[in-house]
A and B are shown apart, each in its own frame.
Chain A
Amino acid sequence: MPDMMNILDLTLKPGAAPFSTGLRAGEILGLAGLDGHGQEVFLRRLAGLERSAGGLEMQGRAINAARDAERNGVVYVPRDRRSTGIFPGLSILDNFAIATAGRDRRGVFISTRARRARYDRWKERLKIVAPSPEAPITALSGGNQQKVLLARALARDPKVLLLNDPTRGVDVATRHVLYDLFRDLAAEGMALVILSSEIEEILVLCDRVLVFRDHAMAAEMSGAAMQTGSVIAAMFGRAA
């Protein structure tokens, strides 16, 4: 019985086959599929950013909108950094703190020192390489921008972290930092759902993978059954 999220008869698109699955605490779930076969819709549905028929509940509470997701500690990290992630006009520090601005309050006003202390903790944990936190976020490399976005998401203390292609356009060294981080987070009891366009990434990182085809779940694999060949076969709709 999944203890984090329960997905019951979800239909990602009118006419698509419904499916049910779940998510456990401490689990890393991978989503695979050819581009546009519904895995992204599914991930955004978990974040309450898409509507669909069928039920999604988290520890007994339904998630149907972004507000529900936020209340239940479900946090989404978007894929397209440039258009839906960073705020190019704001500093690194403000980009980090925007989702959790209220926590830096000391009395009524925001304390810059409290905010910097909070940022420094994440900076260290994520090994963010940045000049001053006051520098514009656009001064950072793609990998470091992604780390700032992750820090922003993690600062919200998520129970479920939804990652849309988190290592896209990120250099190899940074990737390994992120992989270690994801494993640590899962070990601490967070549930992670990772959509990736690279099958190898899913195979090294995930405990279980859902393969999507035609906006439905074509296969669910875990353990030894997770092989490059069988995932690809499911992506193309062939029996393994």
Chain B
Amino acid sequence: MTRILGRNGFALAILAVLLAANLMMNPARFHPAAWGTLLGMAAPLIGAALASTPVILAGRGGIDISVGPVMGLVGAVVIKLLFLGAGISSPFLLWPAALAIGAAIGAFNGFMAVVVRVQPIVATLGTYLILGGVTLTILPAPVGPAPDWLKAMAGGWSFLPLGLIALSWCALTRLPFHGQLMAVGSDDRAAYTAGVNVSLVRFLAYVLTGLLAGAAGMMLTALIGSADPKVGANYTLIAIAAVALGGVSLAGGRGGLLGAAIGAIDIFLLQSLLTTLNVSTYVLQVAYGAILVTAVVLIALQDRHAERSPA
């Protein structure tokens, strides 16, 4: 418990302050009855942050900047091709389709980064550009609407996809894979010597990231109630900021999905507060940057302190 608090302490402190400020400035929007909608609004960013986390945990420069474009592509395929085109409307078909698209792209990224050994940032930049183009080819302009059940997932049912992800992650932390992922992220040579299949673990981390990006794409589609080829890509960088804010070390091996989610909620609350105060979006960008740098510096100082004191 103290370990969870320790790594997420800073993000949790910001969360408390921002939540209090939001409650004071905008009581109507933050009324408990509106929490479902509120969570639905935060969900795409939370989803994108969760998706970015596994590859970062796997270490050695692991990063996936194609998370945003995957979200855009999932919306385009699910709404334009499957729902409006082929007339498929069942959540039990559309959700697996979204996850399969994500996992397939994750597997491709994993293949490029782990087997071909292109630096992850370059490999996923390639995917980022390809997917951006593919999405615009499928869907040159926004189209809608989304099925009603999906729109409900941005309202009262918004806890459902996030809750399922949380449950799956809890299960995952109790599988050998989680320990191996953290070990590979903290020291891949030691993990290799200890007999861990480093390449396989890293590859699976990319697939997991793709799966979560597929889910994040559905949450985004739910929120905007349609498919928009251009909004997805915006999530890539802000999601990485959320991950760093949530105490996940970009060097790998430290942190988890909980921290990433808290970091994403921090950014959402900050956005919400500054919008309430009618601050220009340009200032919003400055605020993101400033809070990110501060958080990363404080976490680094905390780590250094923890390494010095033997306990």
Seen from chain A, the residues whose Cβ lies within 8 Å of a Cβ on chain B are 49, 66, 70, 75-76, 78, 83-90, 94, 97-99, 101-102, 104-105, 108-110, 135, 138-139, 152, 156
Contact = CB atoms under 8 A, between A and B. Distances in A.
Contact of A139 (B193, B194, B311): B311
B295 interface: no
Nearest to B187: A87
A156 B195 CA distance: 10
A78 B180 CA distance: 18
A98 B194 contact: yes
Contacts of A85: 190, 193
B193 A109 contact: no
Q: Which of B193, B253, B254, B307 is packed against the most chain A CB atoms within 10 Å?
A: B193
Contacts of A88: 186-187, 307
19 contacts: A83-B187, A84-B190, A87-B253, A90-B179, A90-B182, A90-B186, A94-B179, A97-B179, A98-B196, A102-B176, A108-B171, A108-B175, A109-B174, A110-B174, A110-B175, A110-B179, A138-B310, A139-B311, A156-B195
Interface of B: 171, 174-176, 179-180, 182-183, 186-187, 189-196, 253-254, 307, 310-311
A14 to B, nearest CB: 25
A76 B241 CA distance: 40
Nearest to A104: B176
Contacts of A98: 179-180, 183, 191, 194, 196
B151 to A, nearest CB: 35
Given A87-B186, A89-B186, A98-B194, 4 more contacts: A66-B192, A87-B187, A90-B183, A101-B179
Nearest to A136: B311
B182 A109 contact: no
Contacts of B183: 87, 90, 94, 98
Contacts of B193: 49, 76, 78, 84-85
B36 to A, nearest CB: 31
Contacts of B191: 87, 98
B176 A105 contact: yes
B194 A89 contact: no
The 8 lowest CB-CB distance pairs between A and B, nearest first, are A101-B176, A109-B174, A99-B194, A89-B186, A99-B195, A87-B186, A102-B176, A84-B189
Q: Which of A70, A85, A98 is packed against the most chain B CB atoms within 10 Å?
A: A98
A76 B190 CA distance: 11
Contacts of A138: 307, 310
A160 to B, nearest CB: 14
Contact of A83 (B171, B190, B311): B190
A209 to B, nearest CB: 25
B310 A139 contact: yes
Contacts of A70: 195
Nearest to A67: B197
Nearest to A140: B310
A109 B171 contact: yes
A89 B195 contact: no
A110 B53 CA distance: 22
A70 B175 CA distance: 21
A57 B310 CA distance: 44
Nearest to A69: B195
A148 B197 CA distance: 21
Contact of B175 (A78, A90, A109): A109
A108 B179 CA distance: 15
Contacts of A152: 194
Given A98-B179, A110-B176, A139-B311, A89 B190 contact: no
A108 B173 CA distance: 12
Contacts of A49: 193
Contacts of A101: 176, 179-180
B84 to A, nearest CB: 39
Contacts of A108: 171, 175
Given A98-B196, A99-B195, A89 B254 contact: yes
Q: Which of A84, A86, A87, A138 is packed against the most chain B CB atoms within 10 Å?
A: A87
A103 to B, nearest CB: 9
Contacts of B187: 83-84, 86-88
Contacts of B310: 138-139
B190 A99 contact: no
A187 to B, nearest CB: 25
B189 A83 contact: yes
A227 B191 CA distance: 38
Contact of A99 (B171, B196, B253, B307): B196
A6 B45 CA distance: 58
Contacts of A156: 195
Contacts of B194: 98-99, 152
